[in-house]
Amino acid sequence: MISSVLEEKRRFKPTKQFLAGSQGPNEKALELIRKKAARNPEAFWKAQAQNLVWKKAPKKVLSGKAPHNTWFADGRINAAFNCIDVHLTTHRRNKAAIIWEGEPGDIRTITYLQLSIEVNRFAHALTKTLGVGKGDVVGIYMGMVPEAVIAMLACARIGATHNVVFGGFSGDSLRDRLNDSKAKVLITQDGVHRKGVATPLKAAIDSSLKEVPSLRHVVVLERTQQDAKMKMGRDVFWDQLVKGMDTHHEAEGFPSEHPLFILYTSGSTGKPKGILHTTGGYLTQAKYSANIVFDFQDRDLFFCTADIGWITGHTYVTYGPLLCGASIFLYEGAPTYPEADRFWRMIERHRITIFYTAPTAIRTFMRLGDEFPNRWDLNSLRLLGSVGEPINPEAWMWYSRTIGHERCPIVDTWWQTETGAILISPIPSATTLKPGTATRPLPGMDIDVVDKSGKSCKPNVGGLLVIKKPWPGMLRTIYGDEKRYIGAYWSEFPGSKKQAPFYFTGDGARKDKDGYFWIMGRVDDVVNISGHRLGTAEVESSLVAHPSVAEAAVVARPDEIKGSALVAFVVLRADVKPEYVAALPEILRAFVAKQIGPIAKPDEVRITGGLPKTRSGKIMRRLLREIVTSGVTTGDVTTLEDMTVLAALRQDDE
């Protein structure tokens, strides 16, 4: 099994400055919470659920058998009501819910009351004008504008299930996701501001939308005033749609297990998985985790840099902070526009207090140099966070010193699209930090590192990261593909009569002597590029769709900035003209970017005569991985069908 080489000796206790402004538990109090939650998890989760306002309070807590658990199933609740209305009768009524900065520098502040008005008007428009009903799926394909959050909340308010698709995905990727979820309505924009350019969004997807038969309406928000061709009867501008709509809206309570959203993520086969989250359990876990991990105080301004197209943008841009009544900061554009100091400048201008970003961004800023953060006053910051991939200790130290001025704890938060919310993380008021580890599971969670037989690994022995007991925010299924749901998460440790199955995360990890979890990355064919998850199979199926390509295998090699970089091995079809070959790597990179989106673009394309395969025809990606990382192959190659292929691949490398 995997073992680790370096031992991290540095320790960081919660700083005095942080503790002075925090109301979180100290170490002793946290241990009590942990013990109590472990003794009776259901009572613990029931208490967390009581922090929400239910239209009908649930009597049930956990029901059903894993992997088909339900949470609070007899309760009824409205997600938008909990994010907005509950604050309107408090001192938060006129508090900023959203402070937004557009890339060109325009600023908008939206209070909880104003958010309520916008969401209510849009909710009415969706039901009355567009005929969206309970359980209908609404696609959202937008940039980082307040209307994206408003759209999500309006869907939630009327019981429509939102399916947010990252605005950086191509029209084809959008089409596939809308078709898979049978979306009835799409909400999009004329264009987005990115790196100083207004890029069309609606016009770029028009031809793909023709191939979505379920789509009845497209709502277009005008942001860049770009020409968007509107299809009569189908397309409508946002402003026209909400004109004259009632600003009051009665929020209905939906069953706790009503689908709140579908979010697509990559798996180890070609087709993205539609992760389905439901309402009551998800909200319970979102509120609980946001509160305990980010220690929200009323004066905080929380900046989570994630796009709403990812789960982080769902749980910690939208639902978690708003459930807690926090103020969120949203930024529309590129972090390097007009200069590489944009984040730091906005932290000073808006006095942001909590900053949550990804290791790939931290490593990028680290390379750009201290000059940029040093230009600005970062003293408003009190807490920093990291998410998406393991943060290497060097980047952690830089983050702590240069951004946090050794005053701010760092919460390294581990979770997944599937888990719905943060599951492993420090509690900033209590946990002694070690750079490079997400530390321990949150109270209420039963998480372990086990060997292939399901037995707990000894300290510092690498194994597989599993979740042993169900949790409220867990995914309920893969939309429309129950078989894959079982296969992907529940078949590795199927359990027995006496033992419930374990949820398998797909991650490798080890636990140290203090019970801290060190995540060692994916053990399947999923790779983490700049904190975004990609299935290598997805990229492979895109490559073989090109007329010049016969076969393709994609593997990852470590990359200093992005975490991993993609290397594609490509076998060409016999009829490809020799003079065309030299240009192909660039052509194929662009091809993948167009098919899936720029994030999936291979960093390197290697044209080769053959791929190493087993006798049964399976590509031995392990060997390719070794070739791209160390240049040599080790271990067992006896199942390899054609040994000469391997020799040739090594030579290609030289």
Q: What residue ranges bind ligand WT7 (CB under 6 A)?
A: 265, 311-312, 387-390, 412-417, 438, 505-507, 519, 522, 528, 533
Q: Tell me whether strands 563-572 and 549-559 are parallel, antiparallel or unpaired.
A: antiparallel
Residue with Cβ nearer ligand WT7 (362 or 438): 438
Q: Which of 300, 215, 223, 283 is nearest to 53 (CA)?
A: 283
Q: 3-state SS of 366-412?
A: HHHCCHHHHCCCCCCCCEEEEECCCCCHHHHHHHHHHHCCCCCCEEE
CB of 285 to ligand WT7, least distance (A): 13
At position 533, the amino acid (one-letter code) is R
CB atoms within 10 A of CB 359: 25
6: number of Cβ within 10 Å:
7
| Cβ proximity to ligand WT7, 415 vs 591, nearer residue | 415
Give the residue with the Cβ less far from ligand WT7, 102 or 385. 385
Q: Which is nearer to ligand WT7, 111 or 505 (CB)?
A: 505
Given the complex with ligand WT7, which of 193 and 363 has the nearer CB atom? 363
Structure tokens of 235? 């397309």
Q: How many residues are listed for the chain in this entry? A: 654
348 membership: H or E segment, kind and range: helix 342-350
- For 434-452, letters b (16+ CB in 10 Å) and e give bbbbbbbbbbbbebbbbee
CB closer to ligand WT7, 414 vs 569: 414
CA atoms in the 13 A half-sphere facing the CB of 89: 4
Nearest distance in Å: CB 359, ligand WT7: 8
SS3 readout for 25-52: CCHHHHHHHHHHHHHCHHHHHHHHHCCC
289 or 417, CB closer to ligand WT7? 417
What DSSP character marks residue 92? Answer: T
Q: What phi and psi, each to the nearest 5 degrees, are found at residue 197?
A: -120, 140
CA atoms of 174 and 176, how far apart (whole Å): 5
**308: which residues sit within 8 A by CB, 6+ positions away?**
140, 142, 144, 148, 149, 152, 164, 314, 317, 318
Which DSSP string corresponds to 405-447?
A: TTTS-EEEEB--TTT-S--B---TTTPPB-TT--BSBPTT--E
User: Of 320 and 390, which has the nearer Cβ to ligand WT7?
Assistant: 390
Count the Cβ atoms, other than its own, within 10 Å of residue 249. Answer: 22
Specify the residue, 332 or 507, whose C-beta has the smaller distance to ligand WT7.
507
| Pairing assessment for the beta strands 410-413 and 447-450 based on DSSP bridges | unpaired
Give least dist CB 633 to ligand WT7, A.
25
Least CB distance to ligand WT7 at residue 350 (A): 24
Dist CA 44 CA 324 (whole Å): 18
Nearer Cβ to ligand WT7 (160/311): 311
Scanning the structure block, which residue is given the tokens 């993520």? 265
143's tokens: 């940039």
**Contact indicator for 285, 79 with CB cutoff of 8 Å:** no
Radius of gyration of the chain (CA): 24
Smallest distance from ligand WT7 to CB 531, Å:
6
Tell me the C-alpha distance between 105 and 525, whole Å: 41
Helix/strand/coil (H/E/C) assignment for every residue in 125-145: HHHHHCCCCCCCEEEEECCCC
Identity of the residue numbered 171: G
Contacts of 322 (CB under 8 A, 6+ apart): 83, 84, 97, 153, 328
Judge whether 69 and 86 are in contact, CB under 8 Å. no
Q: What backbone phi and psi angles, to 5 degrees, belong to 460?
A: 65, 10
Nearer to ligand WT7, 476 or 533 (CB): 533
Q: How far apart are CA 92 and CA 87, in angstroms?
A: 6
Q: H or E segment at 173? A: helix 171-181
CB of 451 to ligand WT7, least distance (A): 19
CB of 530 to ligand WT7, least distance (A): 11
Q: Which is nearer to ligand WT7, 254 or 517 (CB)?
A: 517
What count of other Cβ atoms lies within 10 Å of the Cβ of residue 615? 10
Q: Considering the complex, what minimum distance in angstroms separates the CB of residue 471 from ligand WT7? A: 14
Minimum CB separation from ligand WT7 for residue 528, in Å? 6
Place of tokens 């999009």: 188
Identify whether 558 is preceded by a cis peptide bond (ω within 30 of 0): no
